[in-house]
Structure 1
Amino acid sequence: MAYLRLPPLLAFILLFAGSEAQQRQSNISLGSSLTPHDQNSSWLSNSGLFAFGFYKQGDGFSVGIFMAGIPQKTVVWTANRDSPPVTSNATLQFTGEGRLVLRSTTGDEQYIGDRDQPASSASMLDSGNLILYSSSGRIIWESFSNPTETLLPTQRLRAGNQLVSSASESDHSSGRFRLKMQNDGNLVQYPVRTPSYAYYESGTVGGGDNMSLVFDADIQLYLLNSNGVNIKNITNGEYPTKDRTYLMRIDVDGIFRLYSYNRRQSNSTWSIEWSSSNDKCDPKGICGINAFCVNNDQEADCTCLPGFDFVEKGNWSSGCESTSVAYSCANKSNSVAYDIEVLSNTIWANNAYSVLQVEAKEGCIQACSDDCNCEAAFYKDGECRKLKLPLLYGRRTLEVSDITLIKVYTTTPLVETTVPKDSDERYRKDILIIGIVLISFGSIMLVISVVVFRKRNFHAYKEINKKSCRCQDVELLGDGVIMPFTYEELEKMTDGFKEEIGRGSFGTVYKGTILNSQKEVAVKKLGKVLEEGEREFQNEMKAIGRTHHKNLVRLLGYCYEGSNRLLIYEYMSNGSLADMLFNPENKPCWEERLGITCGIASGILYLHEECATQIIHCDIKPQNILIDEYRHAKISDFGLAKLLKPDQTKTNTGIRGTRGYVAPEWHRKLPITTKADVYSFGIVMLEIICCRRNLSWTLPEEEAVLEEWVYDCFERGELLKLVGNEEIDKRQLEEMVKVALWCIQDEPSRRPLMKKVLLMLEGTVEIPIPPNPVFL
């Protein structure tokens, strides 16, 4: 490429113009603040067209970017849009520490921008972009990269990002529709909760990596790939730019539109220049469940199914509910009356549970009538699809011949059972006598059953707790039951607690053997004696005993005798994860490390969401991850921190866990949630990736703290440094690192739930670029 050498005078002019362009922004200095009713309720851009600050929403105020230079103060971006509006006493501050924070009178704080990267300055640009800068002038956050429902000229919607409509014209919280620039290159519109039901798409799947939707300064909207190639124009035609303001927005009704505003024309209003659809019934979900959309004179109108009415009058999105009595399949017999109502030219989402071929519409009606589960049916061209309610995404259009059949129930029976008048009195007496006899018999049987049950359990309890029982006679009980042992039995099983196989903060672990089966077990002798709480201890043992998961070490039994507290676990022949990771001779290969990571995540997810009693582990670390004979990971010691230190469970201030793995909220005396385990898991993930401890001062200073070093390598694109000379899949490595960095975010709300962590590890959901986990 040839480079043009500019004359000195021209170079000076361009330099001066560039310098002046840099000044065309409103600088916001540290320590500045705004209040809703103050004259300084917003920070203006240099031209005065855009402002960042408070705007009225409902009975309170929200913070965002709006057009202050036109009579219609149009909101184009909202901060923390799903948080409730604040009162007039709230304050927006750009603190001396470089954080943009909204404080309410109740003490609540909402951060705007990147909380973990303090800014040195901020600017409200004439383009409508709010930017936070580092001390070196680098952009560390901008509103253009975090859009809500609007795009402005020069703004891009990058791969993985989306626009979400507002809830209403006056409520800028998240609504029902989204426009997403997918990672596969397709620009798609669909209802927020059901991405599989798209109603607009660009058809550019495979157009290239890192595709962006570009809204350029010439008011053109197009799709651009990472090589700078225009893949597809979304809008066509040239639009005048002089004295006009433009914006693109996904509206409340789910349609994406280009608007223009003539600033020179008095009493101007926003005019539609282009829209993704001219049919207002196109957005799926505009009418809510059990309702269908009808296009009346270019306006959408929602109608409920026959026998249904709107849940909230005037609120289409609430959907419709049946006005007749609801029946279950058990009582939908021939004595229940219903009519089959027919709707022509209507289409819905296909959620059929059964599809069959019939000769005519009447055959579909009969098929639905014969099936008590069938509440509606779709018929078209000999195909009958049976469905249960609710019906989704309905609309009426003359372009289709689909027929919808709806069962509308009434309270009038089809068959009435009558009793002759001359026998009515005798009939009632018979019924009364039979009822009394049945009730009496049932009561007697209930009393007998209770007596027998309690007597049997009493004897069983006595037998189990006899100290004279011998270990060779003990058999482990079935699922959900853990076995009580005497201290004498455990002494025999461990040969006097001879072989120590592990030691931790809560006690010492010994190897033992059940004598009759020769089954090897691990016996943990707890070092701290619980002086009270026998019932709580036993209840917790039962809760842990009911946990059954392939990635949890199975608790087999316990001893609660005098001052002795012991727990009996299944024996893990390959020791702990720490033994593998921090021993070069036993280092697992990359594939094993991937499997171990997913196994740990699966086990933690079970503890958090899937077992009967939610358990927060509080001490996830490699020493508590045991490895079985097949080198599968199993979590141990779950739930024990709470049992062993009740003085700490009574307050949010007591720190549990192991240094280096403890989540920051422990130190801040904040309430502890499952996100504390997510943080510890993230640290363990980094150790699994790098096969080293999270803190090692034997290494160079820049590598000593693992999470700092990993983020530095990630930011510089040098991830292969983390694994040394290993030949591994670079893409897998990057995804693992990204998941781990999300897990160790300083702010708990930023960390994903374990369910999402597992989905990211399995490649089911995309992994966004993580920010710096903490300001270091």
Structure 2
Amino acid sequence: MKGNSSKYYTGIWYNKVSSNPPTIVWVANRETPISDRFRSELKIIDGNLVLLNESKFQIWSTNVSTTTTLKSVIAVILDDGNLVLRDSTSNSIEPFWQSFDHLTHTWLSGSKLGYDYRTKKSQIIRSWRSNEDPAVGLFSLEFYPPGNEYVIKWNGSQQYWRSGAWNGKIFDLIPEMRLDYIYNFSYHTNENESYFTYSVRNPSIMTRSIMDVSGQIQQLTWLEATKEWNLFWSQPRTQCESDFSGGCVRKTDLECGRIVEKPDFLMITVKKLPPHNSVAFGSAGECRTTCLNSCSCNAYSFVDNQCLVWDGDLLNLSEDNDNDSGKTIFVKVASKDLTHHKKSNWITMGAVVGLVGGVVSVLGVILVLIFRKKRISLSVGKTRMEGSLVSFVYKDLQIATKNFSDKLGGGGFGSVFKGVLRDSSIVAVKKLESISQGEKQFRSEVSTIGTTQHVNLVRFRGFCAQGNDKLLVYDYMANGSLDTHLFHGKQVLNWETRYQIALGTARGLVYLHEKCRDCIIHCDIKPENILLDAEFCPKIADFGLAKLVGRDFSRVLTSTRGTIGYLAPEWLSGVAITAKTDVYSYGMMLFELVYGKRNAEASEDSRSKYFPGLVANVLIEGGDVLSLLDTRLNREEACVEEVTKVCKVACWCIQDEEERRPAMSMVERILEGVLDVDMPPIPKICDYNC
């Protein structure tokens, strides 16, 4: 849709989700929009629900044959989001037509996604063409009966991802399902059909599963506190970065044989090169000149003294954000566009899928919806959008922070300041120190951080990269960092809040370690890096900086990254680190959640100087675990079972050998009450410090 014109659709959306625009779960006339919503009609004709345009021409219908009379047919939207047609005079509530049999881009709880042996057709969910256009896009998810698995296809035929076979509990190639305690997922088969369906264990959770325009199946959970959808997880992990599912084109056309626009080349680093048209030998300069002078050449690459040339379309390019093992390809564009061109506009969509869904509670009624095509634009001065992130200019952030005058805190990476943007939103701005990356590499790195989203991670809003000035912008957390409550007397947190902080932090680390495209090791888990929002929900901060600045960066130690008191033994031995280093730091933080002081800080009641050693002794001797609590807490309000559980988990987390430490997914399940925890061995560090 262009300009001020409008397209209208009949659809279903959440009634109790206050998102703008509304969150759509089903669209009837996705391929045939209407232009006049006032003269169009949605009505029941001859037992079918029919949409008529302004000329009273039928553009969509349920298309079912029924002997039911016109007056007895009713259309009803059920609380689970299913639109049904049924006979109001019959005692049976079974519908003769339902939208659950005609899913669009959303898979709802209770609906089937499978294969009908009678019609030899799969139930398919298909992406929108773009975020503003609900027409059928390029990506689809469907059940593949021979493999008893799901596949994602591009353009209706090209398969690029599969789930692996169903083994009775999970799909083989989706190990994340082992950690999923939100859904009941089940498989059913008979002579007529085979299908999967799911239900939500807790009906109060609002979540949805969509086939996104990027080629992902995404599970999103509604966060009422922030009034937004949070990406819970997705598969496959490599997320594409194109703006539209229709692919990418040059901003300025190149007309062969006419000097309209001088061509040049945009350099892109990709994970692997697509099939090329021809190979020649020579120098890199000769390769460039050959492509530049050829009307048909769209790109070239010089690899191992070979000149590779692409004369046709470039398909399935996947950018390599790590810049360590990628291949370089040079794409021909107009030279005038190079300074403004975004790399992501040249990346063909990658594939990504996760097979969990969402629940729709009390959905809105059928209405004619308006969609207005929006171009990506900005809000603040010269600041502009780069994908889902905002690329700020330094002056705008300088104004927002009142010349960086309201300091919230600081650490090894730099200082953090409070700021207010022009749209009145409050943010935290971190000025990074000792960052040596060039602007191009820095932008590539922060784009990776920007795709990492979880309810227990601080939301990354944008960045600034101007010369030596490197800044990151995050959501502002009203209750500050955890250390201010534990150690600096800001507000005493009760035991229930502390336990939820322990659980939420564990969930955030599970996401970083196991559910991102690449395992992200935080490298500096401590109370200062756990922020608390207005409801005291914990948010891990600085979760992308280990990758951004390199793991040899530290203001405390020269060869390691982190903070003394939270460092795992392997940091000091110089061996390669794993996610278990975060587990160790998390365990040290758990002790401080219980104690209310630094682990090595002497207390007024003459407790052991080193608190983890005291905890180990109390557990082994069967002492009073409530005696370990922060003296500021009312012990009668604390749960003995929970305090014991946290102390045991903490001791397991700080085991000297990393293989003896639990994975964060196991810690999460223990704190959730799904798994029991055994008595841990006494860590050597406790023996040394008792």
Q: TM-score per shorter chain, which class?
A: 0.3 to 0.5
Larger RCO (CA within 8 A; separation ≥ 6): 2
Task: Please report the TM-score for the alignment, with normalisation by the length of structure 2.
Answer: 0.45
Greater helix content: 1
**TM-score normalized by the length of structure 1:** 0.41
Find the structure with the greater CA-based Rg. 1
